[in-house]
Amino acid sequence: MLRSDPLLGLGLAGLVFAAACGGGGEGNAASSSSGGGSEPVCTSDAQCGASDPCKIAACVAGACVETQAPEGKLVLDGLVPGDCKRKHCKADGTIEEVSDETDKPEDYNPCTLDTCTEGVPLHAPDPAMEGAACGASSMMICSAGQCVGCTDPLQCPQGGLCHVAVCNLMGMTGACGLEIAVGKGVSNVDPGDCVQAVCDMNGLIVPAPAPLEMPSPDTNECDVESCGESGAIVHTPQPDGTTCGGSSTCNPSSCSAGACVQMMPLPGTDVLTETQVPGDCRRTVCDGMGGTLDQPDDADLPDDPTPSDCTIPVCSSGTPSTGPAMQGTMCMAGALPGTCDGSGNCK
């Protein structure tokens, strides 16, 4: 029997995939209660996660509280579409598997009737389709539950997302069939969560690890995110000593064992390059608390703009000025060479 593909929507299979990825429960936060005077554990029901499929978690007065799910609540965990069964919660909170005649199997064969009988899937030849046209181009016919007359797989019913159409199934000349594309990637909604949807050996869409994906960096500068072989996000520490946190001379920080650690320098440590102005008679030093201090430095002499006269640049308590050159210093008195008299005059 042929019907629309429920996997594309993704329909029931989508619910199974969501349940397997943690989306089938009441939430994914840990269920707990808040102690007196502590911060609220939750502010909405969405922040609370049930510990069991047959429990419902809700946020009550800032605490996650679990109650028994109503009898008959559908359990998605372990649900297999088309197996003629379903699971639901009993009144005592346990899970019961029962027959579901509406959960019909799908073989994507227009020449069969897909039915459930007491929880068992059946694919019997459909008498109404005997001799009827079938296949992608309706150029073949149904015979004893098989679509026959193919010479190419493209002529056959194409099946679902996890199927590959074949012609001459199991050596039967001209008979169409389907094979399961095990491991075929079906979708990847979040290319950074290390998980993708693939086809399993039963033709179902299931979550599988995606170790080649690249997760987004987290807020920790001292680790690097990658996808592990199991589908979990791996946080690898940066090498110790890697700068982090906007490190500077007076507020240095570096990575240590995957954490950004600050190590304040001693007060008075010179700031070598960040804020120093050469020749301003001052120097910038660390204050020992992550900041800087501006101090006089009479050894930080300005450049001498007139080296041929008898004045020299000096610093006085951090203030630039000029003073007389030493007596006997060579100078130029106009166009003639001379010597300084020690009072700032060239003679």
* pLDDT tens per residue across all 347 residues of the chain: 443 333 333 434 444 444 444 444 444 444 444 444 567 889 999 999 899 999 999 999 999 999 999 999 999 888 888 999 999 999 999 999 999 999 999 999 999 999 999 999 999 999 999 999 999 888 899 999 999 999 999 999 999 999 999 999 777 789 999 999 999 999 888 989 999 999 999 888 889 999 999 999 999 999 999 999 999 999 999 999 999 988 887 888 999 999 999 887 777 777 766 567 888 999 888 887 777 888 899 999 999 888 888 999 999 998 999 999 999 899 888 888 899 998 989 88
329, with CB counted inside 10 A (0-12, 13-18, 19+), is middle
Task: Provide the CA 124 distance to its chain's centre, in angstroms.
Answer: 47
C-alpha–C-alpha distance, residues 87 and 76, integer Å: 7
Q: What is the DSSP letter of 284?
A: E
HEC profile of 184-233: CEEECCCCCCCEEEEECCCCCEEEEECCCCCCCCCCCCCEEEEECCCCCE
**Sign of the dihedral through C-alpha 74, 195, 232, 180:** positive
Nearest to 175 by CA among 129, 201, 144, 202: 144
Which pLDDT belongs to residue 38? 65
User: How many other C-beta atoms lie within 10 A of the C-beta of residue 133?
Assistant: 14
Structure tokens that stand for 249 in this block: 């001379």
Question: Could you tell me which residues come within 8 angstroms of residue 205 by beta carbon, excluding any fewer than 6 positions away?
Answer: 7, 10, 13, 14, 16, 17, 161, 162, 186, 187, 197, 198, 199
Nearest to 191 by CA among 165, 158, 164, 213: 213
Residue 47 to residues 30, 40, 186, 343: CA-CA distances in angstroms? 8, 11, 30, 83
Which pLDDT belongs to residue 272? 62
- Does the global pTM surpass 0.75? no
